[in-house]
């Protein structure tokens, strides 16, 4: 029920012990899922595994589709569409729930490896909206793939097992941070300083002959020499000795993965927090984890999808990539691969004809399952309290998103909002209507507008998150379960 007009209280007050147990069990499964899947590729692979275990088959395993069939398509390992074929004619429209599998992180640059002083680093380029200072001095892990010229794909995951090494980005000690501390938060940590320390043992002993003479006799305390050193950084001569640590790292990588430095050019290596998803709070009410934007919605909508049998309307669940950087590219929601998937369903249902795809979209409904900014009592000044999403008050519905005057928003029609309210109320889903924050404060977008542009009725509906986009986001177990119930109700109507 909606928080303002019917029941303005925490969801925890509305349930009994057995429901609480059910919610906690669901959260345990969710945390398991998170610990297996931190990047979009891992999410898609985990989703595919769960789908297959629940009777889904890939699109090319079907020559024809019939009501009740469960089918999926994986696009380039980063993006998945799942469908359960309904009893109704598909031209009457489909029920879609879409979430995104990517989360803010640091990507390795194409030429990431460099040595400076006695340390070797990986150079990064941040992905999505991050507060850079949050990424220093925390344990980080490396996940991703390296693809060699012959097509061989090497999967990398370092930093998740207890005996794995982790990686750290350094920050200045407070004792010497007088200048840094005067800077604005946006400038105190520069993007180019978000470099991962990855080693400091030289490949062999560094002797005097390795270095140009001047370097050995340098008084490193002199400001002038420090500047000279900086200038000479690009000097090949000087690298004879200073690259030995990098050389050793390359040797280790070569032994472990059989790669050369050049192979980084065709890699996708993502730096993510090495934290495990954990229960948070003395009352065990919350989940702390990296990437809950938007994996909390991925998991709750996936579980809703897996629970469906023989729906009236065809149900489609999708997890897209690149949402955090604008949804573009062939794995982002803006790509036409989704249209092609639906067109293929029409072909295999043997109903396709010109314009049918457009007709299907115009008759379809969607929940854009993306997280909402939970009102943070310590920062209440950025929220409009009567229109804010509260933690543990249930799944949060945003009629519109966007920023500063609804720019770049998708604004659901009142008629469709009424329809969604009715479904949630009829199915006893605890939900709340909210906005992202105060109108002048900022805002954000989701994939909603992309489907709305195709003619689909869309509304944003997701889990409120505290510290969104940080390395360790906080959600309520109640809201995660409430989202699952909302998505299930939507699919079954």
Closest distance between Mn ion and the C-beta of residue 16, in Å? Answer: 32
Closest distance between Mn ion and the C-beta of residue 37, in Å? Answer: 16
Residue closer to Mn ion (CB basis): 244 or 399: 399
Which two structure tokens, joined as six digits, stand for 39?
Answer: 């990047």
Q: Contact region for Mn ion (CB under 5 A) — 14-22, 144-152, 200-208, 363-371?
A: 363-371
Closest distance between Mn ion and the C-beta of residue 402, in Å? Answer: 14
- In degrees, to the nearest 5, what angle opens at C-alpha 194 toward C-alphas 188 and 198? 140
Instruction: Mark residues 318-357: x for contact with Mn ion by CB under 5 A, - for none.
Output: ----------------------------------------
Q: Contact region for Mn ion (CB under 5 A) — 367-375, 378-386, 414-422, 423-431?
A: 367-375
Q: Of 42, 321, 370, 460, which lies in the binding site for Mn ion, with binding defined by CB under 5 A?
A: 370
What is d(CA 241, CA 202) in angstroms, rounded to the nearest whole number?
9
Nearest to 448 by CA among 397, 490, 485: 397
Closest distance between Mn ion and the C-beta of residue 371, in Å? Answer: 5
Residue closer to Mn ion (CB basis): 45 or 296: 296
Strand-pairing partners, residue 396, are: 432, 462
Residue closer to Mn ion (CB basis): 199 or 462: 462
Which two structure tokens, joined as six digits, stand for 144?
Answer: 């991703």
Closest distance between Mn ion and the C-beta of residue 407, in Å? Answer: 17
Instruction: Mark residues 163-192: x for contact with Mn ion by CB under 5 A, - for none.
Output: ------------------------------
Nearest to 249 by CA among 297, 198, 302, 207: 198
What is d(CA 267, CA 143) in angstroms, rounded to the nearest whole number?
11
DSSP symbol at 457: E
Instruction: Give helix then strand counts, H and E, for the chain.
Output: 14, 22
Q: Contact region for Mn ion (CB under 5 A) — 133-141, 255-263, 271-279, 365-373?
A: 365-373
Residue closer to Mn ion (CB basis): 263 or 370: 370
Residue closer to Mn ion (CB basis): 115 or 320: 320
Which two structure tokens, joined as six digits, stand for 27?
Answer: 């959260």
Closest distance between Mn ion and the C-beta of residue 465, in Å? Answer: 9
Closest distance between Mn ion and the C-beta of residue 98, in Å? Answer: 11
Closest distance between Mn ion and the C-beta of residue 106, in Å? Answer: 15
Residue closer to Mn ion (CB basis): 296 or 314: 296
Residue closer to Mn ion (CB basis): 45 or 103: 103
Nearest to 302 by CA among 488, 461, 158: 488
Size of the site for Mn ion (CB under 5 A): 3
For 376: left if phi > 0, alpha if psi spans -120 to 50, otherwise beta; the answer is beta
Q: Contact region for Mn ion (CB under 5 A) — 189-197, 287-295, 298-306, 432-440?
A: 287-295
Nearest to 116 by CA among 250, 208, 229, 259: 229
Contact 396, 403 (CB under 8 A): no
Residue closer to Mn ion (CB basis): 40 or 370: 370
At 268, phi and psi to the nearest 5?
-130, 95
Residues 382, 185, 192, 333, Cα dihedral to 10°: 0
Q: Contact region for Mn ion (CB under 5 A) — 225-233, 260-268, 332-340, 369-377?
A: 369-377
DSSP symbol at 385: G
Which two structure tokens, joined as six digits, stand for 407?
Answer: 């720019």
Residue with tokens 């989360």: 103
Closest distance between Mn ion and the C-beta of residue 128, in Å? Answer: 6
Q: Contact region for Mn ion (CB under 5 A) — 185-193, 212-220, 368-376, 482-490?
A: 368-376
Nearest to 407 by CA among 370, 444, 371, 432: 444
Closest distance between Mn ion and the C-beta of residue 184, in Å? Answer: 23
User: Please, is 27 exposed, middle or buried when counting C-beta atoms within 10 Å of its C-beta (0-12, 13-18, 19+)?
Assistant: buried
Residues from 288 through 317 that contact Mn ion (CB under 5 A): 293-294
Residue closer to Mn ion (CB basis): 46 or 292: 292
Residue closer to Mn ion (CB basis): 195 or 372: 372
At 323, phi and psi to the nearest 5?
-60, -35
Contacts of 245 (CB under 8 A, 6+ apart): 115, 118, 119, 120, 199, 200, 201, 202, 203
Closest distance between Mn ion and the C-beta of residue 297, in Å? Answer: 8
What is d(CA 282, CA 475) in angstroms, rounded to the nearest whole number?
14
Residues from 185 through 244 that contact Mn ion (CB under 5 A): none
Q: Contact region for Mn ion (CB under 5 A) — 13-21, 285-293, 377-385, 427-435?
A: 285-293
Residue closer to Mn ion (CB basis): 116 or 131: 131
Residues from 100 through 159 that contact Mn ion (CB under 5 A): none
Closest distance between Mn ion and the C-beta of residue 330, in Å? Answer: 20
Closest distance between Mn ion and the C-beta of residue 317, in Å? Answer: 16
Contact 170, 117 (CB under 8 A): no
Residue closer to Mn ion (CB basis): 253 or 369: 369
Nearest to 140 by CA among 3, 270, 318: 270
Residue closer to Mn ion (CB basis): 293 or 457: 293
Q: Contact region for Mn ion (CB under 5 A) — 171-179, 201-209, 366-374, 451-459?
A: 366-374
**Which CA distances in Å does 26 have to 281, 319, 459?**
17, 20, 25
Q: Which residues bind Mn ion (CB under 5 A)?
A: 293-294, 370
């Amino acid at each position: 029920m909606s928080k303002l007009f019917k029941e303005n209280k925490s969801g925890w007050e509305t349930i009994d012990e057995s429901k609480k147990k059910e919610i906690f069990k669901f959260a345990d499964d969710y945390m398991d899922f998170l610990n297996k899947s931190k990047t979009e590729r891992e999410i898609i692979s985990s989703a595919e595994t769960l789908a297959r275990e629940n009777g889904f088959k890939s699109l090319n395993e079907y020559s024809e589709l019939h009501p009740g069939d469960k089918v999926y398509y994986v696009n380039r390992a980063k993006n998945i569409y799942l469908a359960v074929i309904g009893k109704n004619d598909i031209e009457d429209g489909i029920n879609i729930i879409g979430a995104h599998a990517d989360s803010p992180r640091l990507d390795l640059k194409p030429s990431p490896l460099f040595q400076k002083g006695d340390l070797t680093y990986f150079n990064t380029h941040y992905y999505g909206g991050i507060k850079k200072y949050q990424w220093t001095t925390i344990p980080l892990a490396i996940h991703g793939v390296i693809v060699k010229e012959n097509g061989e794909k090497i999967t990398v995951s370092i930093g998740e097992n207890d005996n794995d090494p982790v990686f750290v980005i350094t920050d200045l000690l407070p004792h010497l941070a007088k200048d840094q501390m005067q800077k604005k938060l946006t400038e105190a940590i520069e993007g180019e300083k978000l470099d991962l320390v990855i080693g400091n043992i030289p490949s062999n002993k560094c002797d005097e002959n390795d270095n140009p003479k001047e370097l050995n006799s340098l008084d490193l305390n002199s400001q002038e020499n420090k500047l000279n050193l900086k200038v000479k950084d690009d000097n090949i001569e000087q690298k004879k000795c200073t690259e030995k640590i990098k050389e050793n790292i390359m040797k280790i990588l070569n032994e472990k993965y059989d790669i050369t430095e050049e192979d980084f050019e065709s890699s996708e290596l993502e730096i993510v927090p090495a934290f495990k998803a954990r229960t948070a709070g003395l009352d065990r009410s919350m989940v702390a984890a990296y990437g809950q934007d938007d994996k909390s919605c991925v998991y709750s909508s996936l579980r809703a999808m897996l629970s469906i049998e023989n729906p009236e309307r065809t149900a489609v669940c999708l997890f897209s990539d690149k949402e955090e950087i604008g949804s573009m590219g062939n794995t982002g929601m803006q790509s036409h691969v989704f249209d092609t998937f639906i067109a293929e369903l029409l072909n295999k249902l043997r109903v396709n004809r010109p314009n049918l795809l457009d007709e299907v979209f115009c008759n379809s409904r969607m929940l854009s399952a993306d997280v909402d900014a939970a009102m943070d009592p310590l920062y209440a000044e950025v929220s409009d309290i009567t229109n804010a999403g509260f933690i543990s008050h249930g799944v949060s519905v945003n009629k519109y998103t966007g920023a500063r005057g609804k720019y770049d928003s998708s604004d659901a029609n009142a008629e469709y909002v009424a329809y969604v309210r009715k479904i949630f109320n009829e199915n006893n889903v605890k939900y709340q209507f909210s906005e992202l924050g105060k109108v002048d404060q900022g805002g954000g977008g989701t994939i909603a507008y992309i489907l709305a542009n195709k003619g689909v009725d869309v509304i944003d509906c997701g889990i409120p998150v505290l510290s969104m986009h940080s390395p360790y986001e906080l959600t309520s177990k109640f809201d995660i379960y409430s989202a699952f119930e909302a998505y299930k109700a939507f699919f079954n109507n």
